[in-house]
Chains A and B, each alone.
Chain A
Amino acid sequence: MKIKTLCIPPVAAALLLVSVSACRAHGTACRIFEGTAAVEASYDDGRPMAFCDVEVYFPAGEKAAYFTGETDRSGRFSFIPESDGEYRIAVDDGMGHAASIVFKVEKGKVSAKGSEKEDPGSGQTETGTCIFKGLGRNAGILVGTSMIFGLFGLVSLARLYGPAGRKKGS
């Protein structure tokens, strides 16, 4: 009985391995080039979000866009901020994928909000979302972790239902 109880987590992990490996979603990412109001948006598979709609919000919390534009073929967009404050740039491909990033302008100097803590030295930050689900890069981590646990789960299943497992269980 004890062996069977101990096997529940690995069995669950094995089942999740089968489930999550079916995940084929691609999320988005958006990064800012250090010291500039230039951003680059891309899909998780590395493809740029080319020729996508861009909306710039100022201040960042505003609901109406301050102005609009379009990314280039590399998924890049830049502008010259007129005033100090927080800006938010939202990129939307119109097909269900969107990415956004917030950055601060102080005395004409651009800095990505919160980037120093998350990625020291690079001056870059990333916030990607799929409109429907926030899988994105987390999906890769989830799949990888599940694969590791899943392998243990499959081994445990074999041991549980194999001749040795039945003998110990009884």
Chain B
Amino acid sequence: MRNILLIICVVAAVVPGSAAAHEHWFVLDEFYPAEGDTTAFSICTGHNFPSSSMALKDNVIDRSYYIRPGPGKAEVLESVIGERSRTGVFIPEAPGVHILVFVLKRPKAEEPSFEAKAITVAGGGTDDSERYIIGRGLEIVPAVPVTALRKGSDLEVSMILDGAPVEGEIVLTSKNGKSIYRRTGIGDPAVLPLTCSGICMISGSYGGRECSLVFSVPDKKGKE
């Protein structure tokens, strides 16, 4: 009897992973690279985060760029289409927070359909959560520096559109495949329990638009 229940539990635990919506996200070889190190990234699409299932075509990538530390330091991110993802490299030339961004939009559409971000902190520079806000489009913004997070931490996040908080549904997906669903409100951030260290994704939707944020939770020793 207990064995049967255990099997059912295992099956039920697997179902959410296979039933999740398909998303778009960044994967970086190194989320905390050394200053000046060439860092590879992938633009991924699929159901099984962090594994990518397909590569996005050129015509749906509206723009992709990264923001360096300092005011107005945006650089274009070039990527090439691969078999199951798009790939490219970037070089964090200064210590501190770098935000990678890609925006998906059909060529004639007025609004983007998906906006994805990744947070990296290079060279052991200052990790300031104020720098996580782009202020343009739909984005998910953690309230605390990601380098301060650990497995078991509770993370407060907001979803904002063009700099203003909005209400919407968000999902935290960890590398172990577990998903946690919450709702953000205006002035009422969602609290997400981090169940493991390593890469994780928070995705959200509001008014027909969708977005994702990827970052890495350091392990107990503070390493990625």
Q: A: which residues have CB within 8 A of B?
A: 1, 4-5, 8, 11-12, 15-16, 18-20, 22-26, 45, 47, 50-52, 70, 73, 93-96, 130-133, 135, 139
Interface residues of B, count at CB 8 A: 38
B113 CB contact (under 8 Å) in A11, A12, A95: A95
- Check B19–A94 contact: CB distance below 8 A: no
Residues of B within 8 A of A11 (CB): 5, 8
Question: Does B46 lie within 8 Å of A132, measured CB to CB?
Answer: yes
Shortest A71–chain B CB gap in Å is 9
Residues A24 and B54 in contact in the complex (CB < 8 Å), given A8-B5, A19-B15, A95-B114:
no
A24 contacts B60, CB within 8 Å? no
Whether A45 pairs with B108 at a CB distance below 8 angstroms is no
Contact between B24 and A95, CB atoms less than 8 A apart: yes
Contacts of A52 in B (CB 8 A): 106
A105 to chain B, nearest CB (A): 29
Whether B109 lies near A16 (C-beta < 8 A) is no
**Which residue in chain A gives the minimum CB-CB distance to B18?**
A133
Contacting pair A132 B13 (CB below 8 A): no
Q: Which residue of chain B has the shortest Cβ distance to A47 in the bound complex? A: B208
Which residues 12-57 in B have Cβ within 8 Å of A in the complex? 12-13, 15-16, 18-22, 24, 45-47, 53-54, 56-57
- Given the known inter-chain contacts A15-B12, A23-B19, A25-B21, please indicate yes or no for A93 contacting B106, CB distance below 8 A: yes
Q: Is the interface of B mostly helix, strand, loop or mixed?
A: mixed
Which residue from A24, A93, A95 sits with its C-beta under 8 Å from B169?
A24
Q: Is the CB of A96 within 8 A of B45?
A: yes
Task: List 16 other contacts, CB 8 Å, given A22-B20, A131-B54.
Answer: A8-B1, A8-B8, A18-B12, A20-B15, A24-B171, A25-B19, A45-B208, A51-B108, A52-B106, A70-B108, A94-B60, A95-B45, A95-B113, A132-B46, A132-B53, A133-B18
A84 to B47, CA, bound (A): 40
Instruction: Say whether chain A's binding surface is mostly helix, strand, loop, or mixed.
Output: loop
Contact B106 A50 (CB under 8 A): yes
Complex CA distance for A64 and B22, rounded to whole angstroms: 27
* B residues near A8, Cβ cutoff 8 Å: 1, 4-5, 8
Which chain A residue shows the least CB distance to B9?
Answer: A15
Given A15-B9, A19-B16, A131-B54 in contact, is the A51-B114 Cβ separation under 8 Å? no
The 8 Å CB contact of B22, one of A16, A25, A47, is A25
The interface residues of chain B lying within 8 Å CB-to-CB of A47 are 208
B107 touches A (CB below 8 Å)? yes
**B122, CB-defined interface residue at 8 Å:** no
Q: Decide if B109 touches A50 in the complex (CB within 8 Å).
A: yes
- Asked if B79 is an interface residue, CB under 8 A from chain A, the answer is no
A24 near B59 with CB under 8 A, answer no
* Interface contact B59-A94, CB-CB below 8 Å: yes
21 A-B Cβ contacts within 8 A? A1-B1, A8-B1, A12-B8, A12-B12, A16-B12, A19-B15, A19-B19, A20-B19, A24-B21, A47-B208, A50-B109, A51-B106, A51-B108, A70-B108, A95-B56, A95-B60, A95-B114, A131-B54, A132-B53, A133-B22, A135-B19
Question: Distance (Å) between the CB of A165 and the closest chain B CB?
Answer: 13
Interface: B104 (CB within 8 A): yes
